[in-house]
Amino acid sequence: MTEWGLAALVVWPLLWGALTLVMPVRWAALPGVLGGVFFGTWVLTWAPQSVALGGWLPPLGLSWRLDGVSQFMIALVAWVGGLSSLYAWWDRSLPSAFWGLWLGVWAAMNALLLTADVFHFYVTLELLSVAAVALVALTPGPAATRAAFRYLLVSLTGSMLFLLGVALLYGRYGVLDMLLLRDAMQGDGITALALAVMTLGLMAKAAVFPLHGWLPQAHAKAQTVVSAVLSALVIKAGLYGLLRLWLDLFAPLTSQPDSQAGWVLALLGTVAIFWGGYQAFRTPALKPLVAWSTVAQVGVLVLALALMVEATTRDSDGLTETLWRGWVWLVAAHALAKAGWFLAAGTVQKRAGETRLAGLGVALQRSPLSVFAMALAVVSLAGLPLSMGFLGKWWLLSLAWELQAWLWLAVSLLGSLLTLAYGWRVLNLGLSTGHGAEPLTPQAPLQTVPTRLDAVALILSALSVLGALGGYWYWEAGA
Amino acid sequence: MIWLDLMLVGLILGLAWRCVHAIELMEAVVVFVALGMLVALAWARLQAPDAALAEAAIGAGLAGALLLATLRQLPAQAVRPQPLHWLWWGLWGLFGVTLLWAIGSILSTPVSLMPWVNTHLPEAGVSHPVTAVLLNFRALDTALELAVLLWAWMAQRALGESPDTSFHPVQGRVLATAVKALLPLMGLVAVYVLWRGSSAPGGAFQSGAVLAAAWLMLWLADLPGLDPRRWSVRLGWLGGVMVFFLVGLLGLVQGIGFMGYRPDQATGLILLIESAAALSIGLLLASMVLASLPGIKGRRA
Amino acid sequence: MNEVVYLYGALGVVLIGFYGLARAGHVLQQLLAVNVMGAGVFMLLLALATRHTPADAVPQALVLTGIVVAISTLALGLALIRRLAVEARQAEKRSDQEALHD
C-alpha cells in the first residue's frame, strides 16, 4: 500500500500540474494541492523503506528510499506548500500560470527527497529549476526577468557541476545508487574531487555564500507566494542534497578523523550569517530584507551541517538520529517562519503599493495580523525561548558545546542577535504609534487587500513558534 | 584511425573556444551549431549512435532554430567580454589540473553496468540495450525528463509566448503541395525510427525530432496543425507524461511495482509509451520553436 | 585506446565552457557557454562508457536524457532573453514618449 503512496507523492502533483494545460486551471489545482497535502502528511505514518522501481534492483534500476529525513522533509513541503497554496488561492493578483508551475515544483521536491540515485537526483534538480525559474518570471517587468535569468544561469551551472561529479563517480565506481556508492567509497583523489564539484553545484542552488548573489533579487522580485515557497522550500532542496552528500553518500570520506573539510563549510556558513544579516540590516526595502535574511539563515543551516560532519568524525555512529532530527527541526522552523514572514511582507507591500520600508509605516499599522506574523517569525528565526526555532537553536548550541567549538557557538549566538536587529527594523515601524525613529513619509491611499491573506501568513508564523509544542514528541521519538 | 579522433577532438576544442570567444552573437550561434554537429560525430565514434542522432537533431538542429529565432529579436550590440581577475585564472587552472589528473586515475578502471544490462535484457521487452535502460530499467528518469520538457514549455507559455495568435506563414500552393507530399513520408520515417528503437539505435527521442520537423513544415505551409486551441494538440503536449505514468501505475496494479511491466506485456507497453512520448516530444519541440519565431505573430503584452 | 583522446577532449570542453561562462559579455553567450560545458560533461560520460566492450548502455541512456533536459533549459533561457529584449524595447519607447512630453 505504501508503494502506492510513494508513487502518489510524485505522480499526483505532476499529473494535476500537467492537466492545468487542458483544464480550467483551478479545477486541476485544487485536487493537486489537496492530494499533495494528504499524501505528504500520510507519509509520516509509513515505515522507512526502499523501493526498487519497476522491480529492478540497483545498480541496474533506480530506487527510492524513504528514511526519517526524507519523511519529515516531504511533510514539511506538504504543510508549508499547502498553506502557501491557500494564500495563492486568495491572491487575486497571481497569474493562473502559477498553479501548473507550482505543482511541478512540488512534484520535483518530492521526487528529489525520495530518490536514492545520483543521476536521478540531477533530473529532479533540473525539473525543480525549470519550474522555479518560471515562477520567478511570473512577475512582469525587466527586473524580475533579469533575476529569473540569473537564477536560471546559476542553477544550470550548478546542475552541470553536479552532473560532472556524477560522471566522475560513475567513472570511478561504475554505479549510481547512493547506498552502493557509499559502500564502495574510497578515500582517493577523484572521489574527493567529485565531492567538491557536487558540493559546489548544490551550494550554488542553495545560495550558500559566496554563491548567494542571485538570491536576493530572485526572491525579492518574485510574486509574494513565490518568494515564500522559494525561500522556505526550494532552497532546502540544495541543502538537503548537501546533507546527503556530506553525511551519507560521502560519509566514509568526510567522517575520517583527520578530515578538516567540514570547517570550510563552517567558515562559509559563518560569513553568510554575518554578510546576510548585515545586508538585511541596511537594505532599504522590505522584501529584499527578508530575502537577505534567507542568505543568513542558509548560513546557519550550513554551519549546522558542518558541526554535524565534525561530530561524525569524532564518533563512529555516523548520522545519528539526534543529529538529523536536530537539523530537520531547524530546517522546519526556518521554513515555517520564512514562509510566514514573506507572505506577511508581501501582503503589506501590496496594501501600501510600495516596497521601501520608509513608505510602509501606515500600511504596517493597518495590518496588525501581518505585523504579528512578522514578529512571531522573527522570534522563531532568532531562536527566542519557547519558540520552535529556540529548540533548533538549543540543539545547535549543545552540539557546538559538545564539540567544544566555542567559536561557532559564539557565531550562532551573534547570528540570533543580528536576526533580532534586522527584524526590529520592521517591527519598530509596525508597532510604533507614528512618532518612531523613522519618520513616516506621506502615503498614497492604501490598496484593499483581503485580511485573510494576513491570516494565512499568521498561521505559518504561529506554527513556527507553536511548533515547539510538538518538540517533546519529536525529540522523544528520536531518543 | 587515431588521427581521425585527434583531428575531431582538436576541431571540437577549437570550435568550443571560438564559440566562447566570438565577438558577434551571430558567430557564436553558428559556431555553437557546428560544434553540436561535430560533437554528434564524436559520439558516433564513441559507439553511441543513439546519443549522436539525438544530439544532431535536437542539440544542434532544434537548438539552432531556437537560437537563430532569438537572435533575430535581439538588438545588434557588441559583445564586451568581462575582464577576469588573476585569482579566477588561478582557480580555473587548479580546477583544470585536478580534473585532468583525476581522470588519469580511472582511464582503464574496468567498471561498467553493462553486465547487469545484459543479464536482464531478455526480460526487458526490447532487445536494444539503450532503449531497455531508457524505457524499462531507468524508466522514471525518462518520465521525469519528459516532465522537464513539458514544464519548460509551460514556462515559455507563462512568459507570454504561445503559437496561438495570428500569424502569416509562408504562403504558396507549391509549398503546400510539397509539404502534403512530404508529410506522409516523414510520418513513415518517424514510425520507422520509433519501431527500430526496440532492436537498434533509434527510439522516441529521434522519432520525436522528426515529428517536430514535420509539424514545423505543416505550419510553415499554413496547413492546420498546431493551433493550441485544439484539444488534440493540448492533449498531445501532456500525452507522453500521462501515458508514461499511467502505465507506471499499471505496474503497481499488477504487483510488479511502480514503473514496472509484466514481462510478457513489456514490448507492447514500451511501444505505447514510446509512441505517446514521440508525439509529445515532437509537438512540444515544434511548439517551442514556433512560439519563439519573431515578428510573425502578435505577442501578448 | 581511442577513447582516451575523447576523455581528455571532454574535460577540455568543460573547462572552455567554464571559462566562457566567466568571460561572456552577453546573456546569450552565457547560455551558450553553459551548454558547451554540458556537451563536455555528456562526452565525458560517453567516453567513460567505452572502457567496456561493447560500450556501456547506461551512460548512453543518461546522455539521451541529458540532451532533452538541456534543450528544455535552453528553450527557457532563450525565452527569458527574448522577454528581456521586448521589455528593453518597451522601456525605450516609454522614455521616448516621456521625452516628447517634456
Max mean pLDDT among A306-320, B192-206, C2-16 falls in C2-16
Task: Identify the pLDDT of residue A438.
Answer: 52
Considering Cα of A266, then A267, then A272, then A278, what sign does the dihedral take?
positive
Q: Residue C11 belongs to a domain with what CATH number?
A: 1.10.287
Average pLDDT over residues A173-177: 95
Kindly provide the b/e burial profile for residues C84-95, where b requires at least 16 CB atoms within 10 angstroms of the residue's own CB.
bbbbeeeeeeee
**Structural domain range at position C10:** 3-101
**Interface contact flag, C84 A130, Cβ < 8 Å:** no
B171 — pLDDT class (breaks 50, 70, 90): low
A440 vs A429: CA distance, rounded Å: 9
Residue B299 confidence (pLDDT) above 70: no
| Interchain CB contact of C42 with B (< 8 Å) | yes
3-state secondary structure of A115: strand
Task: Identify the pLDDT of residue B297.
Answer: 43
Would you tell me how many other CB atoms lie within 10 Å of the CB of residue A229? 30
C-alpha angle with apex C94: C90 to C95, nearest 5 degrees?
A: 120
Kindly provide the b/e burial profile for residues B7-44, where b requires at least 16 CB atoms within 10 angstroms of the residue's own CB.
ebbebbbebbbbbbbbeebeebbbbbbbbbbbbbbbbb
What are the distances in angstroms from CA B15 to CA A157, A164, B9, B270? 20, 21, 10, 39
A39 vs A58: CA distance, rounded Å: 26
A395 vs A401: CA distance, rounded Å: 10
**Interface contact flag, B261 A54, Cβ < 8 Å:** yes
C-alpha angle with apex C35: C33 to C37, nearest 5 degrees?
A: 70
B70 vs A396: CA distance, rounded Å: 50
Predicted TM-score (pTM) of the model is 0.95
Tell me the pLDDT tens digit for each residue of A207-233: 999 999 999 999 999 999 999 999 999
Residue B277 confidence (pLDDT) above 90: yes
Closest CA to B33 of B8, B4, B62: B62
Residue A44 confidence (pLDDT) above 90: yes
A170 — pLDDT class (breaks 50, 70, 90): very high
B31 vs A458: CA distance, rounded Å: 54
Would you tell me how many other CB atoms lie within 10 Å of the CB of residue B149? 28
Task: List the end-to-end C-alpha distance of chain C, in Å, as a whole number.
Answer: 72
Strands A49-52 and A63-66: antiparallel
Q: Which of C3, C62, C72 to mutate to test the interface with A (most CBs of A within 10 A)?
A: C62
Query: What residues contact residue A41 under an 8 Å CB cut-off, 6+ apart?
Result: A75, A78, A79
A403 vs A311: CA distance, rounded Å: 7
**Interface contact flag, B58 C68, Cβ < 8 Å:** yes
**Interface contact flag, B70 C82, Cβ < 8 Å:** yes
Task: Identify the pLDDT of residue B301.
Answer: 30
Considering Cα of B192, then B198, then B35, then B29, what sign does the dihedral take?
positive
Residue A436 confidence (pLDDT) above 70: no
Closest residue in B to C87 (Cα) is B301
C-alpha cell of residue B161: 509566448
Indicate the Cα dihedral angle A82, A86, A91, A95, nearest 10°. Answer: 40
Q: Are C51 and B109 in contact (CB under 8 A)?
A: yes
Q: Which residues of A touch C23 (CB under 8 A)?
A: none
In A20-67, which ranges are continuous DSSP H helix?
Answer: 25-42
B22 vs B30: CA distance, rounded Å: 10
Tell me the pLDDT tens digit for each residue of C66-76: 999 999 999 99
Q: Which residues of A touch C45 (CB under 8 A)?
A: 167, 170
DSSP 8-state class, residue A422: H
Task: Identify the pLDDT of residue B164.
Answer: 53
Closest residue in A to B119 (Cα) is A60
3-state secondary structure of A305: helix
Cell 570542453, located at residue? C13
DSSP 8-state class, residue A432: S
B179 — pLDDT class (breaks 50, 70, 90): confident
Task: Identify the pLDDT of residue B288.
Answer: 92
Closest CA to A332 of A41, A114, A77: A77
Task: Identify the pLDDT of residue A292.
Answer: 96
Average pLDDT over residues B106-131: 92
Distance in Å, alpha carbon of A157 to nearest chain C alpha carbon: 6
Task: List the end-to-end C-alpha distance of chain A, in Å, as a whole number.
Answer: 28
B284 or B223, greater pLDDT: B284
Backbone φ and ψ for A356, nearest 5 degrees, come out as -70, 140
By Cβ distance, the residue of C18, C58, C71 closest to B58 is C71
Residue A8 confidence (pLDDT) above 70: yes
Task: Identify the pLDDT of residue B239.
Answer: 94
Domain tally, chain C = 1
- Side chain identity, residue A406: W
| Interchain CB contact of A200 with C (< 8 Å) | no
Average pLDDT over residues B164-185: 72
By Cβ distance, the residue of B20, B137, B161 closest to C79 is B161
Tell me the pLDDT tens digit for each residue of A295-351: 999 999 999 999 999 998 887 777 788 888 999 999 999 999 999 999 999 999 999
Lowest mean pLDDT among A155-159, A293-297, A300-304, B222-226: B222-226
Residue A478 confidence (pLDDT) above 90: no
Q: Are B32 and C71 in contact (CB under 8 A)?
A: no
Task: Identify the pLDDT of residue A434.
Answer: 54
Q: Are A204 and A119 in contact (CB under 8 A)?
A: no
C-alpha angle with apex A59: A58 to A63, nearest 5 degrees?
A: 30
By Cβ distance, the residue of C38, C62, C77 closest to A119 is C62
Task: List the end-to-end C-alpha distance of chain B, in Å, as a whole number.
Answer: 56
